[in-house]
Structure 1
Amino acid sequence: MRDNAILVVVARFLIPLVMLFGLYVQFHGEYSPGGGFQAGVLFASAWILFVFIYGLDTGLRVIPQRVIYALASLGVLLYALVGLLGVALGGRFLDFDPLLDAPKAAQQTGIILVEFGVGVTVAAVVMLIFLLFARRRADTVAAGLDPDAADDVREEQQ
């Protein structure tokens, strides 16, 4: 779709807006609808739109697959560490009160960190799911197992 100038211009305008809205949803999730899960899906959708416009190889140059795996792991690790920090400081799992002296500040800090971990994990997992489907299609065509897609590829090459 790189050849379609309208799609490229719209994507250049839309992708940063989607990511900005994802940041808004991420950091206002404790006050309004939203949070880590919704923000993660928004961030992943921005990357998926980028891949649709510029291709999978370009998308993987921007965010390599090993980085996506690392982000998925780091998000879960952040969630668990914040929860265990409450236990280490004398509270319960995901009890944020021991984190800071002021209870309200401790709750806000704890929930922001936990939701950030959720957002990073969800974004990475959605990107990995998309990546697996995209690669499966390409592998099927390359192996010659999908005659309809092979015909489409031949038509595009001519």
Structure 2
Amino acid sequence: MRLDTILRIVAKIFIPFILMFGLYVQLHGDFGPGGGFQAGVIVAAGIILYGIIYGINAAQRAVPPGLVEAMMPLGVAIFAGVGIAGFFTGRNYLDYSNLMHGDMVHGQHWGVFLVEIGVLVTVSSTMLAIFYAFAGRGRE
């Protein structure tokens, strides 16, 4: 796609906004529609667009496959770790009330926020792993 100048310029303009919108969806998930899953898909879509326009090698330089493989279990560990933290504070698994030591409202807020971060990391890395697997076929 070296000759597709318009696509390359438009992608260069839009990809930062796509990634920023993914961050907005992640952070706004407490107050409206959105959250970790939607944000993870949007972030992965921005990187996949980069890979489609600039090539799979450029995408893998920006987000290395080793990092993607490490992010998948890291997101699950964040999700599970928040649940276990609630369990060790005397509540049920994934009950965040005691995460802020007596401030139940802020504990719930931070618990949901951290769980959604884990979901974002897992979903975006899984989508990228699938893209790398399919885009890399036939290049061997």
Q: Same fold (TM over 0.5)?
A: yes
Offset of residue 20 of structure 1: 0.6
Q: Who is 2:51 aligned against?
A: 51
Q: How many percent identity over aligned positions?
A: 43
Distance 1:2 1:16 in 2: 21
Offset of residue 58 of structure 1: 1.1
Q: Who is 1:39 aligned against?
A: 39
Which structure: greater helix fraction? 1
Q: Who is 1:109 aligned against?
A: 110
User: For 1:7-57, what per-residue CA distance to the aligned partner results, in whole angstroms no more than 9, with x for missing partners?
Assistant: 111001110010010001001112101100000000000000000111011
- Determine if the alignment matches structure 1 residue 121 to structure 2 residue 106: no
Q: TM-score, normalised by structure 1?
A: 0.85
Q: How many residues align?
A: 139
Distance 2:106 2:122 in 1: 24
Q: TM-score, normalised by structure 2?
A: 0.96
Offset of residue 3 of structure 1: 2.4
Distance 2:64 2:40 in 1: 17
Offset of residue 135 of structure 1: 1.7
For residues 67-78 of structure 1, the aligned pairs below 5 Å read 67-78=67-78
- Determine if the alignment matches structure 1 residue 12 to structure 2 residue 12: yes
Amino acid at match of 2:42: L
Which segment is superposed worse, 1-10 or 61-70? 1-10
- Determine if the alignment matches structure 1 residue 21 to structure 2 residue 21: yes
Moved over 3 A (4+): none
Distance 2:58 2:113 in 1: 32
Report the aligned-residue RMSD: 1.0
Which segment is superposed worse, 118-127 or 95-104? 95-104
User: For 1:57-116, what per-residue CA distance to the aligned partner results, in whole angstroms no more than 9, with x for missing partners?
Assistant: 111111110100111111110000000000111111100001012111111100000000
Q: Who is 2:135 aligned against?
A: 134
Structure 1: 5+ residue runs without aligned partners? 143-158
